[in-house]
Amino acid sequence: MIPKRLKFVTINVWFGMDGRGVFKIGDYEDKKRKDDRFSILISGLKQMEPDVIAIQEANKLPAYANKMATALDYEAVWKVQNSGVKFMGVGIPVNFTAGNVILAKKDYHLKFLTTERLSGKGIQRNYFSLHFKELRNAMATSVEIDGQPILIFNTQTHFSLILDEKWEKAAEDMFQRGEITQQEKEKIKKKMRDRHNRTEQDIIKLLYFIKRIIKKYDYPYVVMGDFNTTTKSSALQTLIAELKLLDPFRIKNPNWDGYTWDPKRNPNTACDGSYFWADGRTPRGPLSRLTAEFDATTPRRIDFIFLSNHFAADNIHQADLIFTEPIDNVFVSDHFGVRVDLKALPNFKK
């Protein structure tokens, strides 16, 4: 009997917006461009035939998830992460109900288990929300493949520039050039530290969430998503160490940087890397200019697929980046995706 191969994919599909606005979020693209990106995404996924797919920044939900599921003939579950003030899909911002999706082949019995708030305040349900600032969450699902249950986690943690001396010095340089006051400089530095710490805390809360779920369901598991930080993060190192996770990409590509955010190769990153908001006229404030410069100049590997230690390193057939080239000058996202291909199911029984 030929062993069952197993393929996982994760990709932040990019909602293409600047996150600003009350009635409507600023949009970098027109509908045709978004439709073109979606078509390329679906075409690529059909060729890859992954068993399970994790999506971040799907917008608008649930329509985006349902459209993907229909196009691929998969099942989908989803969790809204940010939507503002909404009831049954109606409210403001009118063009923004974004979140995370997990899709799986139809015979895998995809089941939504639960979700966990990582950070942010307010009410967020799939069909009702009341919040005015960004929220972050993680979702847990299960699939069953050839009788083998597997847990699937999907998340997108808070975005912050990766704090180091370079960016604190950049704030100092803005002050020296007379662009900001001493008080503004100190406020910017504090916000940079706070946002960096929030990203780190999101990952620690994700760790506790995973521990709670795997205590209840003693199955192999896969953790996927956009972590908005690199493996130099102390929190991410803690998550990997405490859960004894495998990093298939690094195992198979020890000498490849594997940047999933790459401003040199992916022109879509220029939107977040611009000194102007989506309207192209309104200049960003001082801290937003620093984060824009960070995005425009700092390639990094921030999207991951981690495997629990039920999986063996020698069972990994391939781990690579996907959607790294344009089709008709269109890139699928501002991120590159990650794909992991296993030779067989993990050797684990119920």
Render pLDDT for 318-340 as a digit per residue (tens, 0 to 9).
Answer: 999 999 999 999 999 999 999 99
**236 pLDDT exceeds 90?**
yes
Mean pLDDT of 287-308: 97
Q: Taking residues 64-68, report their average pLDDT.
A: 98
Q: What is the pLDDT of residue 154?
A: 98
Comparing C-alpha atoms, which of 99, 103, 105 is closest to residue 138? 99
> Which whole number is the average pLDDT over 108-133?
95
Question: What per-residue confidence (pLDDT) applies to 350?
Answer: 45
Tell me if residue 20 falls in helix, strand or coil. Answer: coil
183-211 pLDDT tens trace? 999 999 999 999 999 999 999 999 999 99
Query: Residue 224 belongs to what H/E stretch?
Result: strand 221-226
Residues 6+ apart with CB under 8 A from 136: 81, 117, 118, 119, 120, 155, 156, 157, 158, 202
At 115, list the tokens: 């979700």
Q: What is the structure's pLDDT at 5?
A: 86
Domains delineated in the chain = 6-342 (3.60.10.10)
Residues 6+ apart with CB under 8 A from 266: 331, 334, 335, 336
pLDDT at 2 over 60: no
How much is the average pLDDT of 238-262?
Answer: 98
Of 142, 141, 124, residue with least CA distance to 133: 124
Q: In the Cβ-directed half-sphere of 302, how many Cα atoms lie within 13 Å?
A: 24
Indicate the pLDDT class of residue 3, thresholds 50, 70 and 90.
low
